[in-house]
């Protein structure tokens, strides 16, 4: 079933929100690793790994499923050109 423009935009917004929430969690994990305490290094590394895998799965185009790269302020998909913002 084809997704409507509205559905694509809604889905993109949810994914974008998750990516934005992920950033401070990843930053916190990096700080843990930098604490030079063996336990914090292990916990920090696990969080970074999970955040990385989650981001790879989450940050994809709702239409063609292509990975969307580093930026979070995309106006459209670089591959299939599906619009993520209403004009």
| Binding-site member from 17, 31, 80, 85 for Zn ion (CB under 5 A) | 80
Q: Is 63 in the site for Zn ion (CB under 5 A)?
A: yes
Using alpha carbons, list the distances in angstroms from residue 23 to 29, 55, 64, 71, 80: 10, 10, 24, 12, 26
| Binding characters for Zn ion, 15-54, by CB under 5 A (x = yes) | ----------------------------------------
| C-alpha radius of gyration, the chain, whole number | 16
SS3 79: coil
Rule CB under 5 A: which residues touch Zn ion? 61, 63-64, 77, 79-80, 82
């Amino acid at each position: 079933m084809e997704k409507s423009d509205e559905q694509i935009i809604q889905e993109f917004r949810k994914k974008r929100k998750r990516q934005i929430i992920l950033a401070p969690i990843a930053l916190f994990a990096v700080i843990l690793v930098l604490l030079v305490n063996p336990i914090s290094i292990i916990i920090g590394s696990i969080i970074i790994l999970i955040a990385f895998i989650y981001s790879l799965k989450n940050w994809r185009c709702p239409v063609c499923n292509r990975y969307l790269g580093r930026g979070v302020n995309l106006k459209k998909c670089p591959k299939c050109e599906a619009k993520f913002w209403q004009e």
